[in-house]
């Protein structure tokens, strides 16, 4: 059964993050759904989000 969860979305450079409801589909053959209890963001991720690292 598909699940609805809360996810943090970082839409683009210098845009604020937002919390949205995301639908997680049923896992397919050989797949699993994993519950995430915590995560971290490294400084490089923040630097990229703020435009300090180019996509090219």
**pTM recorded for the entire structure:** 0.59
- Tens-digit pLDDT string for the chain (56 aa): 889 999 998 888 888 889 999 999 999 999 998 988 998 888 888 888 887 777 66
pLDDT at position 22 is 94
pLDDT at position 10 is 84
Domain ranges of the chain: 3-49
For residue 4, CA distances in Å to 19, 20, 28, 40, 47 come to 13, 10, 17, 22, 30
pLDDT at position 46 is 83
pLDDT at position 55 is 66
């Amino acid at each position: 059964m598909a699940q609805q969860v809360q996810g943090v979305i970082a839409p683009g450079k210098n845009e604020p993050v937002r919390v949205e409801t995301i639908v997680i589909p049923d896992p397919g053959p050989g797949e699993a759904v994993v519950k995430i209890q915590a995560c971290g963001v490294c400084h490089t991720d923040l630097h990229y989000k703020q435009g300090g690292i180019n996509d090219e």
